[in-house]
Structure 1
Amino acid sequence: MRSDCLFQELASTHHSDWLILSADLAVGGPLKHRAVPPSNVGVFTSLIENLGVKDIQFEELLTLDPSELLALQPVYGVIFLFKYPTDKPYATPDGPLDGTFDEAASEKLFFAAQTIQNACATQALLSVLLNQTGDAATTTTTTTTDGADSHKVDIGEKLRDFRDFTMVLPPEFRGEALSNSDLIREVHNSFARSNPFSDETQRDPNAETEDAFHFVAYTPVGGTLYELDGLQPAPIAHGAR
Structure 2
Amino acid sequence: MASAAGDETNTDGGWCTIESDPGVFTAMIGELGVRGVQVDELVDLSEEGFVAANFAGPIYGLIFLFKYDEQLAAPIAEPLSASELPPGLSFSRQIIRNACATQAVLAVLLNARQRGLHLGRLLAEYAEFAEALDAETRGELLANAREICAVHNSFTPHRGILLEEDPALRDLLPHEDAFHYVSYVPFAGHVYELDGLQTGPSCLGAYPNTPSSSESLEQNTSSTRVENDTGPDMSWVRIALDGVRRRIARGTGHELRFSVLVVHRDSREELRTRAASGDQMAAARLLEEESKHHQWQRENTLRRMDLMPLGIRLLTLLADHGRFHGLLESAEQTRRLQLPDPGKAP
TM-score, normalised by the number of residues in structure 1: 0.64
2:112 matches 1:128: no
2:92 matches 1:112: yes
Matched position secondary structure for 1:101: coil
Q: Following TM superposition, by how much is the alpha carbon of 1:68 offset from its aligned partner in structure 2, in angstroms?
A: 4.5
Name the CA distance, whole Å, in 2 between partners of 1:80 and 1:229: 10
- Give the CA RMSD over aligned residues: 2.5
Residue 13 of structure 1 is matched in structure 2 by none
The superposition leaves residues 105-135 of structure 1 with CA deviations (integer Å, 9 ceiling, x where unpaired) of 275311001111211100000000000014x
* Residue pair 1:120, 1:216 contacting (<8 A) in 2 also: no
Distance 1:192 1:106, change over 3 A: farther
Q: Quick one: which of 63, 77, 86 aligns to 1:99?
A: 77
The amino acid that maps onto 2:152 is H
2:125 matches 1:161: yes
2:55 matches 1:74: no
* Residue pair 1:113, 1:174 contacting (<8 A) in 2 also: yes
Q: Quick one: which of 25, 31, 53 aligns to 1:44?
A: 25
Name the CA distance, whole Å, in 2 between partners of 1:176 and 1:213: 21
The amino acid that maps onto 1:133 is R
The amino acid that maps onto 2:200 is A
Distance 1:67 1:153, change over 3 A: same
Q: Which has the higher strand share?
A: 1
Q: Following TM superposition, by how much is the alpha carbon of 1:65 offset from its aligned partner in structure 2, in angstroms?
A: 3.2
Name the CA distance, whole Å, in 1 between partners of 2:39 and 2:125: 23
Matched position secondary structure for 1:119: helix
Name the CA distance, whole Å, in 2 between partners of 1:38 and 1:182: 20
Matched position secondary structure for 2:41: strand
Q: Following TM superposition, by how much is the alpha carbon of 1:210 offset from its aligned partner in structure 2, in angstroms?
A: 5.8
The superposition leaves residues 69-115 of structure 1 with CA deviations (integer Å, 9 ceiling, x where unpaired) of 343122111010112115x5844xxxx3x222122227531100111
The amino acid that maps onto 1:111 is F
Long gaps (5+) in structure 1: 1-36, 135-150, 195-203
Distance 1:172 1:107, change over 3 A: farther
The amino acid that maps onto 2:127 is R
2:212 matches 1:228: no
The amino acid that maps onto 1:77 is G
Matched position secondary structure for 1:213: strand
* Residue pair 1:107, 1:167 contacting (<8 A) in 2 also: no
Percent identity reads 44
Name the CA distance, whole Å, in 2 between partners of 1:75 and 1:130: 14
The amino acid that maps onto 1:58 is V
The amino acid that maps onto 2:106 is L
Q: Following TM superposition, by how much is the alpha carbon of 1:38 offset from its aligned partner in structure 2, in angstroms?
A: 6.6
Residue 56 of structure 1 is matched in structure 2 by 37
Q: Following TM superposition, by how much is the alpha carbon of 1:193 offset from its aligned partner in structure 2, in angstroms?
A: 3.0
* Residue pair 2:89, 2:111 contacting (<8 A) in 1 also: yes
The superposition leaves residues 25-61 of structure 1 with CA deviations (integer Å, 9 ceiling, x where unpaired) of xxxxxxxxxxxx9761100001111100110000110
Q: Following TM superposition, by how much is the alpha carbon of 1:67 offset from its aligned partner in structure 2, in angstroms?
A: 3.8
Residue 15 of structure 1 is matched in structure 2 by none
The amino acid that maps onto 1:99 is A
* Residue pair 2:67, 2:179 contacting (<8 A) in 1 also: yes
TM-score, normalised by the number of residues in structure 2: 0.46
Name the CA distance, whole Å, in 2 between partners of 1:228 and 1:39: 18
* Residue pair 1:109, 1:131 contacting (<8 A) in 2 also: yes
Residue 185 of structure 2 is matched in structure 1 by 219
Distance 1:50 1:102, change over 3 A: same
